[in-house]
Structure 1
Amino acid sequence: MAMTITCAAMGYDCGYGVTGRDMDQILSGIKHHSLEFHGYSEEELNSPDVIERWKGEIRQSARPDAIRTPRDESDRDVKPH
């Protein structure tokens, strides 16, 4: 079953969306977009911390709104493209 996640759902001020059949496809699309439009370096894209954070954000965005865990995004340096 296909799943779509947007940058906005991950805390970015960006309307881009990635669709994939599984976590690997979605992460691949996120990596490609983040490199081109959000200024991530190859090193950052392959960081286990970044990948785990993104996986958590993907899982969180798939949950119904009523049971999502609120996140404090105030410390993130997010720039729209």
Structure 2
Amino acid sequence: MIKTTVIALLTAASLAGVAAPAYASAFGDVSPEFRSFVADSIVADLNQKGVHATSVEEWGDLIRAYVTNDNGTQTMEFFTPGSLQPVTK
């Protein structure tokens, strides 16, 4: 229980302090390690919003997420950086 709480607090602190500015320009111009961290943070944020994302990548000025649907199929969905709002056609 304590271990889970500590991990959650560390994750929340790192997301708020580090990952949010990188959302402003999708992943930003950073090292591959930091890009991986940002991608993992975005996946976690999308999952908290109810989007079952398995991975994300920068797609121009958008974020492309690979999403697993309830029936087990996988689709791609696009989101705006920062707010992670779905992009509509």
Structure 2 length normalisation: TM-score? 0.30
Higher RCO by CA contacts (8 Å cutoff, separation 6 or greater): 1
**Greater CA radius of gyration, 1 or 2?**
2
Select the structure that is richer in strand: 2
Structure 1 length normalisation: TM-score? 0.32
